[in-house]
Amino acid sequence: MTILNLFPFSRCAQALLHCRSGNFGLLAALVTIPLIAAFGIALDFAAAFNRKTAMQSAADAAALAGAAADPGAEQTIAYGFLGAHIGHKDATGPKPSPHWKHQVTVERDTVAVTVQEDHRTAIMHLFGFKTLHLSVHAKAARTSGSAACVLILDPNKADALKIINANSVINECGFQVNSSHNQRAFYMENQGKFSASEIAVSGQSKLAGKMISPAPVDGSPVVPDPLADMAEPVARTAACTSKTLKTINAQGKTSLEPGVYCGGLTLNASDDVTLKPGIYAFRGGALTLNTSAKVMGKDVQFYFEDAQSPLMLNGAAILQVSAPTTGTHAGILMFQGRQAKDSNVQFRINTSAGSFYNGAIYLPYAVIDWNVSGSLNTESSFTALITKVLNLYVSGTTYFKKPTAVGKDFVPNGFAKTSGVRLVE
């Protein structure tokens, strides 16, 4: 084709561009098509988002319902909840949607629900996208409460609770062992008298010596730390009362003042020691008692702020202490700070006849070696223990006590027996 032959076409193109009557309509048509497509895609994504929200709600409800169901019925109950929430209905009732897949997994005290669906599009299928893949997940756990006075938190250690009993152990409100160790979560050598209201063990128990009653219930649900959210009794920025290790050598009767003992406190005493009411906080150093005397205190609390601050009760001290009866931390005799988390802080407690600990001992990151000679806690109205690991060696008589009518108002919140289910994922 020659240049001359192109000339008529060039003039037509110029005329079309300068034409104001039909050009706007053409351009509008060209622009409207992608706008409609974008609007349609937005509608599809909005519908998919709403559908996924409904699926997540259904999965959450199904997981909770499954966890609350009787053992063996978890999958049936969870599946029924899914059908009721996101299925379709006919004359016979709710049915599963033909476009979604589900999976319900039951592992001990948890129920996990996964739902996947190929959600059909309304506009995007015109562009080749017939479905959008949606996936949601939910997990619920049974939370069984416990009336146990002694709660052992380590999740997997062998001998998380070890009791060597040569005389008498009496627990009015039971033991709870969270270790899932498959051979020796709870280990006991019993040659004396033993009684407890219950012994619940997540893993397996191993017993030697005389039989105990009741027998441990292995495979029991884990019980969460009831004081895990409790605030610490002393701010980490609190000023030091004593800035370095303080050592007190006392020959006669003496008394101690509450405060923040940075670097720790060592007490060497041969006569009675009285603890004045208040909080005894230890930061960056241990509380060490080297004494065979009597250490007494009412309305006192021991706060072990970090992993460098354990209790070392040496000798054969007679410790007679009672927790505060008022305030946020009423009923808490000992409290271990969150800075010790992920640690295994060694505590050593040697007690002689006449010792008692009136209140809750909360040492969730401690490994306690507790040696008992004589009587322990006979004069206490309430003694509870929450710790990571406990090695209890008894040659005397040991009591852990549920609260009496007089002392019930001083029991810390969280020790009541409750149960239920909760979402964990």
What is the per-residue pLDDT across 62-73, written as a single tens digit (0 to 9) for each? 888 888 887 778
Whether the pLDDT of residue 25 is over 80: the answer is no
Range(s) of the domain holding residue 83 = 25-142
Q: What is the mean pLDDT of residues 52-63?
A: 85
Q: For 217-237, what is the mean pLDDT?
A: 91
187 near 165, Cβ under 8 Å?
no
Task: Write down the pLDDT at residue 1.
Answer: 42
Same domain, 155 and 96: no
Q: Give the confidence band of 316 by pLDDT, cuts at 50, 70, 90.
A: confident
Chain segment 143-192, per-residue pLDDT in tens: 555 567 899 999 999 999 999 999 999 998 889 999 999 999 999 999 99
| Residue 354 within any structural domain of the chain | yes
Going by pLDDT thresholds of 50, 70 and 90, the confidence category of residue 14 is low
- Predicted confidence at residue 84, as pLDDT, reads 75
pLDDT in tens, 88-108: 554 444 455 556 788 888 886
Query: Going by C-beta distance under 8 Å and a sequence separation of 6 or more, which residues neighbour residue 417?
Result: 145, 146, 147
pLDDT reading at 6 higher than 50: no
Are residues 325 and 378 located together in one domain of the fold? yes
pLDDT, residue 87, reads: 64
pLDDT of residue 108: 64
**81 within domain boundaries:** yes
Query: pLDDT tens digits, residue range 351-360?
Result: 888 999 999 9
Question: What pLDDT, on the 0 to 100 scale, is given for residue 123?
Answer: 78
Identify the band that residue 7 occupies on the pLDDT scale cut at 50, 70 and 90. very low
pLDDT bucket at 332, cuts 50 / 70 / 90: very high
Asked if residues 247 and 269 have their Cβ atoms less than 8 Å apart, the reply is: no
Give the DSSP letter of residue 238.
P
Task: Identify whether residues 189 and 252 lie together within a single domain.
Answer: yes
The CA distance from 155 to 148, in Å, is: 17
Say what the pLDDT of residue 27 is.
59
Q: Is residue 418 part of a domain?
A: no
Answer yes or no: is 158 within a domain: yes
Say if residue 135 is in the same domain as residue 206. Answer: no
- Do 163 and 121 have their domain in common? no
Q: Are residues 132 and 187 in the same domain?
A: no
Burial 123-155 (b: 16+ CB within 10 A, else e): bbeeeeeeebebebebbbbbbbbbbbbbbbbbe
> Looking at 113, 142, 171, which one is the last position of a domain?
142
For residues 14 and 61, the model is more confident at 61
Average pLDDT value over all residues in the chain: 84
pLDDT of residue 23: 59
Q: What percent of the chain has pLDDT over 90?
A: 46
pLDDT of residue 88: 52
Residue 334: per-residue pLDDT: 97
Q: Answer yes or no: is pLDDT of 115 > 80.
A: yes
- Average pLDDT value for residue range 317-327: 91
pLDDT at 121: 83
**Residue 71 placed within a domain:** yes
pLDDT in the model for residue 62: 85
pLDDT over threshold 50, residue 273? yes
**Residue 132 reports pLDDT greater than 90:** no
pLDDT band at 417 (very low <50, low <70, confident <90, very high): low
What is the model's pTM?
0.67
193 and 91 in a single domain? The answer is no
- Whether residue 164 sits in one domain with residue 100: no
- Domain boundary, last residue among 119, 142, 165: 142
Compute CA distances 395 → 295, 332, 354, 412, whole Å: 21, 27, 14, 30
* Burial environment of residue 321 by CB neighbours within 10 A (0 to 12, 13 to 18, 19 or more): buried
Query: CA 245, 299, 347, 210: dihedral to nearest 10 degrees?
Result: 160
Residues 209 and 358 in one domain: yes
- Whether 136 and 157 map to the same domain: the answer is no
Asked if the structure places residue 425 within a domain, the reply is no
Q: Are residues 235 and 372 in the same domain?
A: yes
- Look at residue 274 and tell me if it is in a domain: yes
Residue 251 has pLDDT above 50, yes or no: yes
pLDDT for the residue 26: 60
Query: Tokens for 308?
Result: 């460098």
123, 142, 161 — which closes off a domain? Answer: 142
Give how many domains the chain has, as a whole number. 2
Domain shared by 101 and 221, yes or no: no
* 7, part of any domain: no
- What are the pLDDT digits (tens) for 341-400? 999 999 999 988 899 999 999 999 999 999 998 899 999 988 999 999 999 999 999 999
> Order of strands, edge to edge, in the sheet holding 193-196?
193-196, 168-171, 397-400, 375-376
Q: In the structure, what pLDDT confidence band is assigned to residue 419 with cuts at 50, 70 and 90?
A: low
pLDDT at 233: 95
Res. 254: pLDDT tops 70: yes
